[in-house]
């Protein structure tokens, strides 16, 4: 069985040079002639046994370059399932909403523990939402106005859809935000938790059942079956502990700016580059991208 190593540089911090590519090739015992996917940004080469990614990353000597590994066959995926907070968008929308209640840091601390798997996700969500009881609905719109996409998000979704993939945003966050991200990025569908209100303010409750790690996994499985693709032909991306089951089950699970517990358990990680790296990992060249 052969594999492909893909190197992707953070365009704002460094350039991917032929020398850097050669160092990685030497570290993993050689490989095929490199194929440039984007000048100075991304390249790939085939190897004939599964490489040690730790060794490959060490060969880059601390440069802001990611190393991703896929099987050579069937690299392009028919389904993308993406987390929202700190993956497709830059921050944690619930934490940012909490700032309008003067509880930003208190709730953010609970979020950090939950995303690193230190406390139960469902209980953490209920606790955080309860603290927001009475917060006016205008705070939701104000939070959305400050929400930003991570670089490459629109390109990732548009390119995968152009090439026939189903794209879904599946979040432990809130449908108020996922619906807007879907409209902005062009995802085919979204699933998340429903924040309850009385028409004027938040009630401090969230609709049950709560979408957590097991639901993310079951959604990946359900959508793969609906699309008629094997799990091996799926791609999942996320950053937190509640993403781990789907990241491990997907044919290609990629951790994006991962929390520590995720970084230790998911082999393929994006620590430096933007979300376009998920396309490079599937063998797309920059000339294949749909830029929006």
Domain-ending residue, one of 73, 88, 122: 73
Residue with tokens 């309850």: 196
Judge if 67 and 144 occupy the same domain.
no
CA distance 111 to 128: 8
What is the pLDDT at residue 268?
98
| Boundary of a domain, candidates 73, 89, 109 | 73
In angstroms, the CA 128 to CA 173 distance is: 11
Instruction: Provide the 10 A C-beta neighbour count for residue 292.
Output: 12
24: domain CATH number?
3.30.70.260
pLDDT at 9: 98
What was the pLDDT predicted at 292?
Answer: 81
Q: Which domain holds residue 240?
A: 76-292
CA distance to 87, 101, 171, per residue, from 211 (Å): 17, 24, 7
DSSP β-ladder status, 252-256 and 234-238 = parallel
Give the integer Cα–Cα distance in Å for 161 and 134. Answer: 40
3-state DSSP call for residue 187? coil
Cis peptide before 209 (omega within 30 of 0): yes
Confirm whether pTM is higher than 0.85. Answer: yes
Distance of CA 221 to the CA centre of its chain: 17
| Direct distance between the N- and C-terminal alpha carbons of the chain, in angstroms, rounded to an integer | 36
Closest listed residue to residue 234, CA positions, set 244, 224, 242, 243? 224
Which residues participate in catalysis according to the annotation?
A: 83, 85
Check residue 163 and give left, alpha or beta (phi > 0: left; psi -120 to 50: alpha): alpha
| Backbone phi, psi, residue 47, to 5° | -130, 160
285 shares a domain with 201: yes
For 211, the token pair is: 């979408």
- Tell me, what CATH number does 265's domain have? 3.40.50.1000
Average pLDDT, consecutive stretches of 10 residues, N- to C-terminus, the chain (292 residues): 97 97 96 97 97 97 98 97 98 96 93 93 96 97 98 98 98 98 97 98 97 97 97 97 98 97 96 98 98 85
Angle, helices 138-145/175-185, rounded to nearest 10 degrees: 40
| Residues 8 and 137 placed together within one structural domain of the fold | no
> Is residue 195 located within the same domain as residue 286?
yes
User: 173 and 253 share a domain?
Assistant: yes
Do 274 and 105 meet the contact criterion of CB atoms below 8 Å apart?
no
Same domain, 181 and 291: yes
Q: Which residues contact 227 (CB under 8 A, 6 or more apart)?
A: 78, 79, 166
């Amino acid at each position: 069985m052969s594999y492909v190593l893909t190197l992707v540089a953070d365009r704002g911090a460094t350039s991917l040079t032929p020398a850097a590519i050669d160092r990685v090739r030497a570290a993993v015992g050689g490989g095929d002639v490199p194929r440039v996917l984007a000048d100075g940004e991304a390249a790939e080469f085939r190897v004939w046994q599964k490489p040690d990614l730790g060794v490959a990353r060490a060969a880059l000597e601390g440069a802001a370059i990611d190393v991703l590994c896929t099987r050579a066959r069937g690299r392009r995926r028919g389904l993308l399932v993406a987390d929202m907070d700190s993956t497709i968008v830059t921050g944690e929308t619930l934490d940012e909403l909490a700032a309008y209640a003067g509880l930003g840091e208190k709730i953010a601390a609970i979020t950090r523990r939950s995303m690193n798997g230190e406390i139960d996700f469902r209980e953490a969500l209920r606790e955080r939402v309860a603290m927001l009881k009475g917060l006016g609905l205008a705070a939701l719109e104000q939070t959305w106005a400050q929400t930003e996409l991570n670089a490459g998000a629109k390109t990732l979704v548009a390119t995968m859809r152009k090439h026939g993939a189903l794209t879904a945003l599946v979040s432990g966050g809130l449908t108020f935000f996922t619906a807007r991200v879907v409209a902005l990025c062009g995802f085919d569908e979204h699933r998340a938790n429903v924040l309850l209100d009385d028409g004027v303010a938040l009630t401090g409750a969230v609709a049950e059942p709560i979408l957590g790690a097991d639901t993310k996994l079951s959604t990946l499985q359900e959508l793969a079956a609906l699309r008629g693709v094997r799990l091996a032909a799926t791609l999942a991306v996320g950053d937190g502990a509640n993403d781990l089951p789907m990241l491990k089950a997907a044919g290609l699970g990629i951790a994006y700016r991962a929390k520590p517990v995720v970084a230790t358990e998911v082999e393929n990680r994006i620590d430096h580059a933007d979300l376009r790296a998920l396309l490079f990992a599937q063998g797309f060249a920059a000339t294949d991208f749909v830029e929006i």
